[in-house]
C-alpha cells in the first residue's frame, strides 16, 4: 500500500468515525423539558406576545427566522425582493413547504392566514400582527371587518406573494422574520377554541396544548420540509414561581428556562456558564411629559435629569442589572456607547435657575407615576425623590398605580424595545410627531426633532452618516430634551443545561429547537 | 328538617345575587378598564380598535344590560368567556378544571387536618401541662407562623435538592403522585393549630363535666369515655372551625398553587386578578361564595348529629 493510498484510507476512516462518535455522544432520549412562566393565553402566532413565542418559530413557520446576529434566514420563504420605491416586497415561498397534515403551503395559504390573523377578534388588545402589518394596503379594512380581501397581499403564483405597502417602512423585511407572521392553516376551523389544542402546524414540530393543565408538548413533525430535527419531543411546563423554577432546574427536572431578571443575582453567581443572553432587548425608562406643568419647561426637565445619579442608584439596588443610558441598546445597530447622562447637581441647579420657575420654591410638585406591580420601582424612585430634594430642593410626589388612566402626570415609568435590529423603529416611536411612546407619555417632540428623525429614516441603509443622525436624535431626546430617561437594560437570559447543545436565540427570544441536540449526561 | 334545608337553599339565591351585584359593580365602576389593563404600558392600539374590542367583549354596553345578561347566562349555566384568553375559553370549563384539582388537594388536606388535628388535640388535653402537651402545642403553633412563600422553597430545597427524598419540585399528576406531598403538607400545617387548640380546649372543658364522671363511675375505660362521651360533645366547636378551614382549602391556595405549579382554583383567582379578567374574577368570586355558603350549610346539618338538643325544625 503506497503512502497516498494509506492516507486516503486514514481519511476515510476518520470521516466514518467522526459521525459515529458524535452519534454516541447523543442521549438516547432526545427529549427536553422547558419552562413557561405564565399560562398559555394564545396559540395562534398573530397574537403571541409573551413566552409562547419560544415555540412559535418551530410550529408556525414565518417567512424568515432571525439569527442571533439579527440577520434574516430563509424559513418558510426562500428569499425576498424589494421594489426601488420600497413599497413592494415580493417573497418566494419554499416550494416543498407543507403543513403538518401534508397539504401544500401556497402563497394563497399565507395570504389567508394573515388575513385571518389581523381580524379584530383574533388580535390581542396590544395589536399583535397589526402592529407590523398595519402599513399593508387593505389590511386595516380586513382588520376592521370591512373587507375580506387585503388588496396589498397579492398572490403572484403558488409560491410567490407580493406585499404592497401604503407607505415605505424602514426595515419592513425584518417584520417577515417575526413570530407574529407565522402561518396557520386558514382552511381549518380556526375559530373553534378546541382546535388550538392540536392545531395543524407548519414547521419542524407539531404542537398539542392542554389548557386545563397548562401543558404544551411539541413533537417532531414528519411533514417538515427541512432537515429533520434531532429532538423528538419538547415539553413545556408551567412554573410561575421563580425560586421553584431554579430548584426544578437544579433538580434536573427542566433543562431550559428564561430568566427575566428575577433570578439574575442568583444565576449570575451559580450558573454563569449556563446563561445565554437574549440579544437586542429593550429597557426600562422614565418618560417625561412636556404638556403638563411644570415639566413643560425644558430647563426644569434637564434639572430633574441631571440631579439624579441613576448609575449609582441602580448599581446599588441591582448590582447585576445593566444600567441603561441609551435608547438604542447594546446589541442593536447604531448603539452609542459614548452617550452618557450627566449626573451634575451643580449643572442641575443652573438649569433650574434658567427655568421659568427660577428656584425650587416656585416649582409646583412634580408628579411621578409608576406601576406598583413591579415593586422595585418604588425603591428606585424613592432614591431619586431624595436626590431631587437634596440636590434641587424640589418636591416630587410618587404615585404608585395599577394603570395609567390619564395623562395628568409629569413622569411615567415605561418599558420598551425595538422590534427590529435597527434604531429607526425605537427612535421613531419617541421622536416622530405621532410616535407611540411619545403619545403615551404625553410628550410632543419639537418639530426640529421630528424633522431629524424623518431625515434619518429617509437615508439609505448604507449611508455613511446614518448612525450619526440616529445618535443625534437619541442624544437630543435624552440629554437636550430630557424627555426620555433610560434606566435599566432588560436583562433577559436563557439558562441552559450544558448537555443541551446548539442552543441559539435571537431578538425574537425564540429557540432554534430544530438544531438542538441532547448530549448524554 | 326538609323545610329547614329548603329554606337554607333558597336563602343562598339572594346571597349569591348580592355577591354578583357587588362584584359586578366594583368591576364596572372601580378603577381601571379590563382591556386597558391588558394593554399594559406597551404600545397602545388605536382607539377605534380598542372600541371594536370593547364591543366584541360586550364591555361597551350599559351596566344594567351586562348585569342582566350575566345573570340570565348564569341561570343557563353560562358564565361567559375569559377576555384575557385569546383562545376564548369558557369560564365554566376553566373553573371546572381548577376546582377539580383544588377539591382533591383541599379535600385531602381537610381529612388530614381532622385525622391528625383532633387526636393531637385530644392527646394534648389528656396529657395537659405535660411535655407531650407542650410539644404538640408548640409545633402546631410554630409551623403556621412561617409564611408559605418561605416555608415552601425551604421544604423544596430540603426535600428535593438536599435530602433527595422527593423526586419532583412542581406540577400536578393527581393526589397519589409524590408531587402532591409537599403542597399537601403545607396546606395541612397552616390550619392544624386551629383544630388542635380547638379540640384541646373543648376536651379540657369536657373532662370535669358530670357526664364524664358518671361514665367513669359506670366503669367505662378511659378510651371509651374519651371516644363515646367527651369527643362527641367536644366536636361541635371543632366542626364549626373545620367548616371555615374546609371552605378556605377548597377555594384553593393562591400561593401554594403558584409555587408548586398546580393548575387549581387558587391559580385561576391569581390569573384573573393579574390580568384583570373580569368574567374570571366574577366566576371565581361566585364559586368561592357558594363554597363558603355550602360549607356553612353542611356544618349546620352536622350539628344535630353531634348534639341531639339541636333541632333544625
CB B262 within 8 A of CB B183: yes
B-chain residues near A437 (CB < 8 A): 43
Name the helix (H) or strand (E) containing A90: strand A88-93
Residues 249-268 of B with CB under 8 A from A: 258-261, 263, 267
Buried-state track A295-304, b at ≥16 Cβ within 10 A, e below 16: bebbbbbbbb
Q: Which of B41, B44, B157 sits opposite A371 (nearest CB)?
A: B41
pLDDT of A447 strictly over 70: yes
Q: What pLDDT is stored for residue B88 in this prediction?
A: 66
Length of chain A: 521
CB-based contacts of B140, cutoff 8 Å, min separation 6 = B117, B120, B189, B192, B193, B196, B197
CB A169 within 8 A of CB A419: no
The predicted-structure confidence for B3-60, as pLDDT tens digits, reads as follows: 888 988 999 999 999 999 999 898 888 766 666 655 544 434 456 666 776 777 777 8
CB B279 within 8 A of CB B262: no
A500-501 and A517-518: which strand pairing?
antiparallel
A-chain residues near B163 (CB < 8 A): none
Residue A110 confidence class, pLDDT cut points 50, 70, 90: very high
Q: What pLDDT is stored for residue B42 in this prediction?
A: 42
Structural domains of chain A in order of their starting residue, each with its CATH number: 2-12+41-231 (3.40.190.10), 283-489 (3.10.105.10)
Contact assignment for B56 to A143 by CB distance below 8 Å? no
Contact assignment for B258 to A402 by CB distance below 8 Å? no
- CB atoms closer than 10 angstroms to residue B274: 14
0.80 exceeded by pTM: no
Nearest-Cα residue of chain B relative to residue A285 = B41
Q: Which of B49, B97, B261 sits opposite A244 (nearest CB)?
A: B261
- Residue whose cell numbers read 439574575: A264
Phi, psi of B21 (to 5 degrees): -60, -45
CB B271 within 8 A of CB B94: no
B-chain residues near A130 (CB < 8 A): 45, 49
pLDDT of A271 strictly over 80: yes
CB A299 within 8 A of CB A422: no
Length of chain B: 313
pLDDT of A16 strictly over 80: no
CB-based contacts of B198, cutoff 8 Å, min separation 6 = B121, B237, B238, B241
How many contacts does A have with B, using Cβ atoms within 8 A? 129
pLDDT of A4 strictly over 70: no
Retrieve residue A94's grid coordinates.
Answer: 419554499
Retrieve residue B44's grid coordinates.
Answer: 397602545
Contact assignment for B86 to A211 by CB distance below 8 Å? no
- Distance between B30 CA and the closest CA of chain A, angstroms: 12
Average pLDDT over residues A298-316: 94
CA distance A360 to A232: 66
Nearest-Cα residue of chain B relative to residue A284 = B41
Residue A281 confidence class, pLDDT cut points 50, 70, 90: low
Q: What pLDDT is stored for residue A373 in this prediction?
A: 64
pLDDT of A449 strictly over 80: yes
Contact assignment for A131 to B43 by CB distance below 8 Å? yes
C-alpha triplet A284, A286, A292: angle, nearest 5°: 155
CA distance A369 to A140: 33
Does B169 contact A at CB distance below 8 Å? yes
Closest CA to A517 of A54, A35, A504, A506: A504
Residue A58 confidence class, pLDDT cut points 50, 70, 90: very high
Q: What pLDDT is stored for residue A453 in this prediction?
A: 93
CA distances from B30 to A402, A405, B80 (A): 12, 12, 20
Q: Which residue has the higher pLDDT, A483 or B222?
A: A483
Interface test with B, best of A141, A241, A248 (most B CBs within 10 A): A241
CB A500 within 8 A of CB A274: no
Does B102 contact A at CB distance below 8 Å? no
Does B92 contact A at CB distance below 8 Å? no
Q: Which residues pair with A400 in a beta bridge?
A: A370
Q: Which residues pair with A79 in a beta bridge?
A: A92
Name the helix (H) or strand (E) containing A398: strand A396-401
Contact assignment for A126 to B168 by CB distance below 8 Å? no
CA dihedral (B21, B23, B28, B30) in degrees, to 10, reads: 130
First to last CA, chain B: 5
Lowest mean pLDDT among A190-194, A331-335, B6-10, B83-87: B83-87
Q: Which residues pair with A60 in a beta bridge?
A: A202
CB A397 within 8 A of CB A368: yes
CA distance B148 to B143: 10
Q: Is the peptide bond before A294 cis (omega within 30 degrees of 0)?
A: yes
A-chain residues near B37 (CB < 8 A): 402-403
Q: What CATH topology corresponds to B97-306?
A: MetI-like fold (1.10.3720)
The predicted-structure confidence for A373-425, as pLDDT tens digits, reads as follows: 666 788 899 999 999 999 999 999 998 876 676 667 899 988 877 766 788 88
CA distance B30 to B273: 13
Retrieve residue A257's grid coordinates.
Answer: 428556562
Q: What pLDDT is stored for residue A10 in this prediction?
A: 60
Phi, psi of A82 (to 5 degrees): -115, 140
- Distance between A41 CA and the closest CA of chain B, angstroms: 5
Backbone φ/ψ region at A128: left (φ over 0), alpha (ψ -120 to 50), beta:
left
Q: Which of A145, A193, A244 sits opposite B169 (nearest CB)?
A: A244
In whole angstroms, what separates CA B52 from the centre of its chain? 38
Interface test with A, best of B170, B263, B270, B275 (most A CBs within 10 A): B170
Closest CA to A367 of A440, A295, A442: A295
Contact assignment for B44 to A436 by CB distance below 8 Å? yes
Retrieve residue B276's grid coordinates.
Answer: 384583570
For residue B163, the SS3 value is coil
Q: Which of A47, A248, A250 sits opposite B170 (nearest CB)?
A: A248
Closest CA to A296 of A482, A127, A159, A463: A482
- Residue whose cell numbers read 441602580: A314
Does B36 contact A at CB distance below 8 Å? yes
Nearest-Cα residue of chain B relative to residue A434 = B46
CA distance B102 to B108: 10
Exposure of A51 in the CB half-sphere (CA atoms within 13 A): 23
Retrieve residue A173's grid coordinates.
Answer: 423585511
Interface test with B, best of A244, A245, A429, A490 (most B CBs within 10 A): A244
Q: What is the largest CA-CA distance in chain B?
A: 85
* ipTM > 0.85, yes or no: no
Amino acid at each position: 500500500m503506497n503512502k497516498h493510498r494509506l492516507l486516503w484510507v486514514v481519511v476515510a476512516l476518520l470521516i466514518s468515525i467522526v459521525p459515529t462518535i458524535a452519534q454516541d455522544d447523543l442521549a438516547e432520549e432526545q427529549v427536553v423539558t422547558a419552562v413557561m412562566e405564565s399560562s398559555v393565553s394564545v396559540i395562534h402566532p398573530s397574537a403571541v406576545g409573551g413566552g409562547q413565542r419560544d415555540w412559535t418559530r418551530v410550529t408556525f413557520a414565518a417567512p424568515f427566522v432571525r439569527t442571533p446576529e439579527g440577520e434574516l434566514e430563509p424559513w418558510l420563504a426562500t428569499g425576498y425582493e424589494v421594489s426601488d420605491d420600497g413599497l413592494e416586497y415580493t417573497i418566494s415561498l419554499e416550494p416543498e413547504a407543507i403543513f403538518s397534515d401534508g397539504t401544500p403551503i401556497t402563497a394563497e395559504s399565507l395570504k389567508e392566514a394573515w388575513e385571518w390573523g389581523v381580524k379584530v377578534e383574533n388580535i390581542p388588545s396590544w395589536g399583535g400582527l397589526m402592529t407590523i402589518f398595519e402599513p399593508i394596503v387593505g389590511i386595516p379594512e380586513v382588520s376592521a371587518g370591512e373587507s375580506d380581501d387585503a388588496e396589498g397581499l397579492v398572490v403572484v403564483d403558488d409560491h410567490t406573494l407580493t406585499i404592497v405597502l401604503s407607505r415605505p417602512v424602514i426595515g419592513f423585511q425584518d417584520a417577515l422574520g417575526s413570530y407574529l407572521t407565522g402561518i396557520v392553516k386558514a382552511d381549518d376551523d380556526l375559530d373553534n377554541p378546541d382546535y388550538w389544542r392540536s392545531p395543524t402546524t407548519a414547521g419542524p414540530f407539531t404542537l398539542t396544548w392542554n389548557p386545563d393543565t397548562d401543558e404544551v408538548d411539541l413533537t417532531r413533525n414528519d411533514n417538515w420540509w427541512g432537515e429533520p430535527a434531532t429532538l423528538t419531543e419538547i415539553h413545556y411546563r408551567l412554573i410561575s414561581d421563580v425560586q421553584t423554577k431554579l430548584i426544578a432546574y437544579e433538580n434536573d427536572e427542566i433543562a431550559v428556562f428564561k430568566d427575566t431578571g428575577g433570578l439574575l443575582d442568583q444565576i449570575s453567581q451559580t450558573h454563569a456558564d449556563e446563561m445565554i443572553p437574549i440579544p437586542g432587548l429593550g429597557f426600562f425608562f422614565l418618560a417625561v411629559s412636556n404638556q403638563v406643568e411644570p415639566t413643560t419647561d425644558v430647563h426644569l426637565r434637564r434639572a430633574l435629569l441631571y440631579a439624579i445619579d441613576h448609575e449609582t442608584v441602580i448599581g446599588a439596588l441591582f448590582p447585576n442589572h445593566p444600567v441603561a443610558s441609551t435608547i438604542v441598546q447594546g446589541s442593536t445597530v447604531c448603539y452609542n456607547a459614548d452617550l452618557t447622562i450627566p449626573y451634575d447637581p451643580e449643572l442641575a441647579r443652573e438649569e433650574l435657575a434658567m427655568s421659568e420657575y427660577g428656584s425650587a420654591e416656585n416649582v409646583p410638585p412634580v408628579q411621578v407615576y409608576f406601576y406598583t406591580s413591579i415593586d422595585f420601582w418604588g425603591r428606585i424612585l424613592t432614591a431619586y425623590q431624595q436626590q431631587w430634594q437634596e440636590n434641587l430642593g424640589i418636591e416630587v410626589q410618587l404615585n404608585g398605580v395599577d394603570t395609567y388612566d390619564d395623562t395628568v402626570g409629569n413622569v411615567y415609568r415605561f418599558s420598551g424595545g425595538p422590534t427590529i435590529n435597527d434604531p429607526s423603529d425605537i427612535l421613531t416611536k419617541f421622536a416622530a410627531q405621532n410616535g407611540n411612546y411619545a403619545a403615551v407619555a404625553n410628550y410632543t417632540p419639537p418639530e426640529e426633532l421630528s424633522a431629524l428623525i424623518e431625515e434619518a429614516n429617509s437615508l439609505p441603509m448604507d449611508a455613511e452618516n446614518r448612525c450619526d443622525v440616529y445618535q443625534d436624535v437619541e442624544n437630543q431626546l435624552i440629554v437636550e430634551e430630557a424627555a426620555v430617561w433610560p434606566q435599566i437594560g432588560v436583562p433577559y437570559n436563557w439558562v441552559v443545561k450544558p448537555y443541551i447543545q446548539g442552543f441559539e436565540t435571537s431578538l425574537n427570544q425564540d429557540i432554534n429547537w430544530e438544531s438542538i441536540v441532547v448530549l448524554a449526561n | 328538617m326538609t323545610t329547614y334545608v329548603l329554606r337554607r337553599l333558597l336563602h343562598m339565591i339572594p346571597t349569591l345575587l348580592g355577591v354578583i351585584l357587588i362584584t359586578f359593580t366594583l368591576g364596572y365602576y372601580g378603577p381601571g378598564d379590563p382591556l386597558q389593563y391588558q394593554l399594559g404600558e406597551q404600545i397602545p392600539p388605536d382607539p377605534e380598535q380598542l372600541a371594536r374590542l370593547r364591543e366584541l367583549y360586550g364591555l361597551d354596553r350599559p351596566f344594567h344590560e351586562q348585569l342582566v345578561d350575566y345573570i340570565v347566562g348564569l341561570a343557563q349555566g353560562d358564565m361567559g368567556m375569559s377576555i384575557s384568553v385569546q383562545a376564548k375559553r369558557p369560564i365554566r370549563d376553566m373553573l371546572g378544571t381548577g376546582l377539580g384539582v383544588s377539591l382533591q388537594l383541599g379535600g385531602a388536606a381537610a381529612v388530614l387536618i381532622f385525622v391528625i388535628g383532633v387526636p393531637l388535640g385530644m392527646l394534648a388535653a389528656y396529657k395537659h401541662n405535660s411535655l407531650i402537651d407542650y410539644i404538640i402545642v408548640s409545633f402546631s403553633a410554630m409551623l403556621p407562623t412561617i409564611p408559605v412563600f418561605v416555608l415552601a422553597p425551604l421544604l423544596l430545597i430540603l426535600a428535593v435538592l438536599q435530602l433527595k427524598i422527593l423526586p419532583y419540585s412542581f406540577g400536578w399528576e393527581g393526589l397519589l403522585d409524590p408531587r402532591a406531598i409537599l403542597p399537601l403538607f403545607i396546606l395541612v400545617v397552616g390550619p392544624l393549630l386551629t383544630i388542635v387548640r380547638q379540640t384541646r380546649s373543648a376536651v379540657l372543658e369536657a373532662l370535669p363535666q358530670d357526664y364524664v364522671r358518671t361514665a367513669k363511675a359506670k366503669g367505662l375505660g378511659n378510651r371509651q369515655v374519651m371516644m363515646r362521651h367527651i369527643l362527641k360533645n367536644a366536636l361541635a366547636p371543632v366542626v364549626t372551625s373545620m367548616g371555615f378551614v374546609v371552605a378556605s382549602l377548597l377555594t384553593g391556595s393562591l400561593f401554594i398553587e403558584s409555587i408548586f405549579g398546580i393548575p387549581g382554583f387558587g391559580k385561576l383567582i391569581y390569573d384573573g386578578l393579574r390580568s384583570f379578567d373580569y368574567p374570571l374574577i366574577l366566576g371565581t368570586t361566585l364559586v368561592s361564595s357558594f363554597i363558603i355558603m355550602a360549607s356553612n350549610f353542611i356544618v349546620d346539618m352536622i350539628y344535630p348529629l353531634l348534639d341531639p338538643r339541636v333541632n333544625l325544625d
